[in-house]
Amino acid sequence: MRGGFRKGVNLSPKKLDQMMKQVGLSVEEMKDVEEVVIKTADAELVFEDASVTIMDAQGSKMYQITGTPVKRPKRELEPEQEVSISAEDVEIVMEKAGCGAEEAKATLIETRGDLAEAISRLCEE
């Protein structure tokens, strides 16, 4: 077979890296991953032994999680439990998301004080 895919032809890792760069792909493994949690409406999938690989395709990042998940019921805060939001957290969210103090605090309360989630939500809007 000429000019087509030939069975048994192996690419060296260096050649594969060159080809991926030519088409705008890069792949790297995240280091020091302790835990990955996927939250659904009624449960959480927790990967404690996760290996996470990031593929960047011309600005779009795709995350691949490899590991064994443990399914557990979703943990909800009791209505009477309040989330304490510090002034420093509000300032960080305001700075990173480019929003006002009230919007930052409201989003932090919605996300139960999760800075990364609050910033992510505000940047999507």
User: Rounded to whole angstroms, how far apart are CA atoms 84 and 109?
Assistant: 8
Q: Is residue 2 in a domain?
A: no
Q: What is the CATH number of the domain that holds 112?
A: 1.10.8
| Together in a domain, 67 and 22 | yes
Number of other residues whose CB lies within 10 A of the CB of residue 45: 15
Reported as a pLDDT band with limits 50, 70 and 90, residue 112 is confident
Q: What is the CATH number of the domain that holds 56?
A: 2.20.70.30
8-44 tens-digit pLDDT: 567 787 887 788 888 888 888 999 999 999 988 888 9
Per the structure, the count of domains in the chain is 2
Domain that includes residue 37, residue range: 13-73
Q: Is residue 79 in a domain?
A: no
pLDDT (0 to 100) of residue 80: 47
pLDDT at 65 over 90: yes
Dihedral sign of CA atoms 69, 75, 91, 123 in order: positive
Q: Is residue 95 in a domain?
A: yes
Q: Is residue 4 in a domain?
A: no
Q: Which of 26-40, 80-94, 108-122 is predicted with the least confidence, judged by mean pLDDT?
A: 80-94
Tokens 């309040």 locate to 82
User: Rounded to whole angstroms, how far apart are CA atoms 67 and 36?
Assistant: 10
Q: Is residue 110 in a domain?
A: yes
The DSSP result for 66-99, as a single string, is: ES-EEEEEPP---TTPPPP--HHHHHHHHHHHT-
**Reduced to 3 states, what is the DSSP secondary structure of residue 119?**
helix
| Together in a domain, 58 and 98 | no
**Reduced to 3 states, what is the DSSP secondary structure of residue 35?**
coil
Q: Is residue 69 in a domain?
A: yes
Which residue did the predictor score with more confidence, 75 or 47? 47
